[in-house]
Amino acid sequence: VMRVAAIQMNSGPDVDENLRLADSLLGSAATDGCGLAVLPENFALMPERSRDKVMHAEAPGVGPIQEFLADAAKRHELWIVAGSMPFVSPDAERVYGACPVFDAHGRQRACYRKIHLFDVKLPDRDESYRESHSMYPGEELVTVETPIGIIGLSICYDLRFPEMYRRLVEDGASAFTVPAAFTAVTGKAHWHVLLRARAIENLAYVIAPGQYGLHPDNRATFGHSLIIDPWGQILAEAADGDCHIAADVDPELPQRLRGEFPALANRRL
């Protein structure tokens, strides 16, 4: 059994300040006995203008944000699933939303680039998002072997595409990480039910840290970071505030449940 954490933040435009807060919360998770922690989407930067992310975009393995993550993982002896941060993309004006994963020795073990971009007009509201204006879509599914089993990596809007999680299960995943900056409106309507559904239908743990509160671009995010077990029960939750939540994860439970309740094996389509 390993204790895991979801880190909840209200990130702003100052990268150094965001990293200081992230370090403090990772430290509190480590003190709480956690061996793995997941940061929220955009943990290092929530700028006033989305295209400002380009100024902080890093190449794989190079740059101050990744150096911070490697150092923090080593200092706190923590596996870190690093939410999302800007990586350089083939388009000079757009960035990948990248989720690098570091082991407790500070080595980068994997990196996922967000596939589904949030290009949405919210119903009945004067509120729309065009993530593809500042972001470049990834194309590859990524899993990574960790002390809690194989984790399938995803980011925020990916949550609405159940076929992605089925594919991750086929690649061996028994847990999913879903770092997010869910809008307050869609979060209130769908966050809990979608996350619990992904856990239940795949008999997998879900660790979903969120951004919360108001950000410099006037976007309000939902918070409510969650850790959910493979039966769909919420093990830990935080409504808002800069904090970590923690729960104990049994790496053998998903396989045991999949054996006892063989819904995945009973698929016919």
Residue among 3, 2, 6 nearest 242 (CA): 6
Identify the DSSP state of 103.
Answer: -
> Catalytic one among 41, 53, 58, 243?
41
The single residue listed with the structure tokens 């990916």 is 158
Residues in CB range of 222: below 8 A, 6 or more apart: 182, 183, 184, 186, 187, 188, 191, 210, 212
Q: Rounded distance, CA 150 to CA 202, Å?
A: 13
The answer to whether 156 is a known catalytic residue is yes
Length of the chain: 269
> Catalytic one among 34, 53, 58, 114?
114
Tokens of 95: 């960035």
The answer to whether 53 is a known catalytic residue is no
> Catalytic one among 34, 99, 111, 156?
156
Do residues 238 and 245 touch, judged by C-beta distance below 8 A? yes
Strand 175-177 versus strand 149-153 pairing type = parallel
Task: Give catalytic residue positions.
Answer: 41, 114, 156
